[in-house]
Amino acid sequence: MKRGITVLRYAFQNIYTYRVEYVRTFIWVRLLQAIVFVPMTSLLFYCMYTWTGFHAITEHNIVKFLLHPYAIILLAIWLLLVLLCIYYELGFYFLQAYYQQKGMPYTFAIIVERLNRKALYFFSAQSLLLVLYLIVLIPLAAFLLPVSLTQQLQLPAFIVDELMHSGSGKAMYTIAIIVLGFVSIRLLFTLPFFIIHPHLTIWASIVQSWHFSRKRLAETVLLLAAVLLVYIVVAFVSVIMLFLPLILIERIVPAAALVVAALTLTALEVLLIMMFTLLQALFSHVIVSVLYGHAHYFSVEQKEDHIRTTYRKLIRRVLPIVLLVVSIVNGVSLAASIYAPSTLVIAHRGFIEKGVENTISSLVASAEAGADVVEIDIQQTKDGRFVVFHDATLNRLANRSDAVYHLTLEQLTSITVSADGLSDTIPSLDDMLERAEELGVKLLVEVKTHGYETDDFLQRLVNQLEEHRVLHTVYVQSLNNDLMEELEHLEPRVKTGSVYAFHTGKLPSTTTDFYAIEDSSVDSSLIDEAKRIGKPLFVWTVNSDRKLQRYLEQNVDGLITNHPDVAATLRSDNDDATFFTRILHRLPIVW
């Protein structure tokens, strides 16, 4: 404990003493990302789409895309670029911490020259080891690797959601996180070893990290936990302090709230940038202290050389102008967000907090929660009829190994399903259509195929929808785009949709009426493209308040969510939401 406090105290002292150098590091890293990484990434992906003839890449064509020689070459170049960006960003911080703790003088030129010499290793087969290292880190990258490029690395939410729907899935996910966390901690010193030691190869650094961390595992975990705790506490207190003036102004002088809100948002953005830079600096100091046993602060006299003086002048002159421009942009953005969005709230398999998924109880709960549409999954039964059920087998919800296509509708609808202390019976599509009509909600029917459908499968579905007079109001979607295009041709009155679990590039060309794309593949440009071509875009599965609010402000066509109550409340309150609420939902955890 005493050593940990000493390490953190000296880390803060070093960071404060060399604060101008850290500002300079931040500026250069972000400038390089802006003028090198972003343009190069755009160029590489443009070439990939153009040269391979793939304008949209989805789970349906990604294997074929990856087999194209141009795709392999350009992706390899892009991965190399990512690795180099991570290497130089972390390299600056680790080497600065090393020189500062040793009390050695250094310049940026010395650090760049040292990093350039080791960068040659990235042009060898050993760079693949770092790619594997990053893949292992994906579930924990935002916590264990404080690099700006890794903060968006995460498993798609729908994968985690599916795992958490069952006890075995929860156990698998927990075990996987523990194992990956252990491996990640053991390999955490790989990059510091490689960066600081002038002659260590990438593989040698991995081996060294694995052996070294065996003795220092507990110390490393405790120190990193302390860093994270300090970061969270300081950030939390700072955010509250910056929010206080806005909260008071909104109550006392509402007319001035927009101006204060714009300034507050700008101040918070600057704060989070500073906090993330502080986190990177603390992380590097702690790791270097563990590696070399340093816990020293050398009071080095900081000479006001030409470079330091230039940076101070630059910050004093340029920063106010930048902050003013950002504040104006933030003010315009906040003002434009004051409206009631027309976004459809779509309950994913019903409201599963109040009823078992895909059952009448979850349908009723969805309507009571304020959902406009309820998404359900259907499959064809042994006798050619339609049942509302998601999985191929009954194992997860009914603890039975039977496959859906092995049972008749009568058999299936007599089975009780249970989840999270709730229970209900499996409904037929007829039951769902009738109850939805009574409740005044529309249905989004997702067609699940198992390979044992009848030849007139789609015609039977159309006939059933027509019997209930919902051809004009029902939405039908599937991961099988060919099937939906066939349905569109068979019955144009039905609103058909193409579902994509992964997507990059332009929107896929399809004759269906709308798109349903997984949240992690959706950005502002995709939303704008959908609006431009006039096709609705449904985003699935969006569960965090922050993301729900962001999509509502972008007025996306539909939000498929496990929390229809929250989404409906956010939508109805959007026009009356305080600026405090709007800003809170916009803030990233880190920049």
pLDDT tens for 472-499 read: 999 999 999 999 999 999 999 999 999 9
Same domain assignment for residues 133 and 155? yes
Q: What is the pLDDT of residue 183?
A: 85
- Tell which residue, 88, 4, 27, has the closest CA to residue 285: 4
pLDDT of 469 above 60 = yes
- List the CATH number of the domain containing 399: 3.20.20.190
Q: What is the pLDDT of residue 296?
A: 52
Residue type, 478: S
pLDDT of 591 above 50 = no
Q: What is the mean pLDDT of the chain?
A: 86
pLDDT of 158 above 70 = no
Same domain assignment for residues 469 and 505? yes
Q: What is the pLDDT of residue 298?
A: 52
Q: What is the pLDDT of residues 70-127, one digit of tens each?
A: 999 999 898 888 888 888 988 999 999 999 888 888 888 899 999 999 998 888 888 8
> For residue 591, is it within any domain?
no
Least confident of 237-251, 294-308, 372-386: 294-308
- Tell which residue, 18, 35, 134, has the closest CA to residue 86: 134
Return d(Cα 437, Cα 355) in angstroms, integer: 19
What is this structure's pTM? 0.81
Q: What is the pLDDT of residue 454?
A: 95
Same domain assignment for residues 353 and 269? no
pLDDT of 4 above 80 = no
> For residue 339, is it within any domain?
no
Q: What is the pLDDT of residue 157?
A: 65
Return d(Cα 43, Cα 52) in angstroms, integer: 14
Q: What is the pLDDT of residue 143?
A: 53
Tell me which of 309, 334, 359 is where a domain ends: 334
Least confident of 108-112, 142-146, 547-551: 142-146
Same domain assignment for residues 358 and 281? no
Same domain assignment for residues 119 and 256? yes
Residues near 424 by beta carbon (within 8 Å), at least 6 away in sequence: 355, 356, 359, 360, 361, 362, 416, 417
Same domain assignment for residues 322 and 436? no
Estimate the share of the chain in helix, then strand, then coil, as percent rounded to the nearest 5.
65, 10, 25
Same domain assignment for residues 212 and 184? yes
Return d(Cα 391, Cα 448) in angstroms, integer: 9
Q: What is the pLDDT of residue 19?
A: 81
Q: What is the pLDDT of residue 311?
A: 62
pLDDT of 345 above 90 = yes
Structure tokens at 158: 């729908």
Return d(Cα 586, Cα 285) in angstroms, integer: 31
Q: What is the pLDDT of residue 553?
A: 84
pLDDT of 20 above 90 = no
- H helix or E strand, kind and range, residue 223: helix 202-252
Same domain assignment for residues 328 and 468? no
Same domain assignment for residues 308 and 393? no
pLDDT of 226 above 90 = no
pLDDT of 191 above 50 = yes
Model confidence at 388, pLDDT cuts 50, 70, 90, reads: very high
pLDDT of 302 above 70 = no
Same domain assignment for residues 441 and 388? yes
CA distances to 119, 209, 406, 551 from 269, in Å: 33, 35, 57, 20
Q: What is the pLDDT of residue 169?
A: 74
Can you give the residue range of the structural domain that contains 127?
Answer: 2-334
Least confident of 25-29, 481-485, 574-578: 574-578
> For residue 314, is it within any domain?
yes
- Taking each helix axis as running N to C, give the angle between helix 38-52 and helix 69-102, from 0 to 180 degrees, rounded to the nearest 10: 170
Tell me which of 334, 354, 379 is where a domain ends: 334
Return d(Cα 32, Cα 114) in angstroms, integer: 18
> Residue 563, exposed/middle/buried by CB under 10 A (0-12, 13-18, 19+)?
buried
Tell me which of 287, 306, 334 is where a domain ends: 334
Number of compact structural domains in the chain? 2
Return d(Cα 91, Cα 194) in angstroms, integer: 9
Residue 399 CA neighbour count, 13 Å, CB half: 5
Whether 58 and 502 have beta carbons less than 8 Å apart is answered as yes
Q: What is the pLDDT of residues 264-297, one digit of tens each?
A: 999 998 888 888 888 888 888 888 988 887 555 5
Least confident of 12-21, 243-252, 391-400, 536-545: 12-21
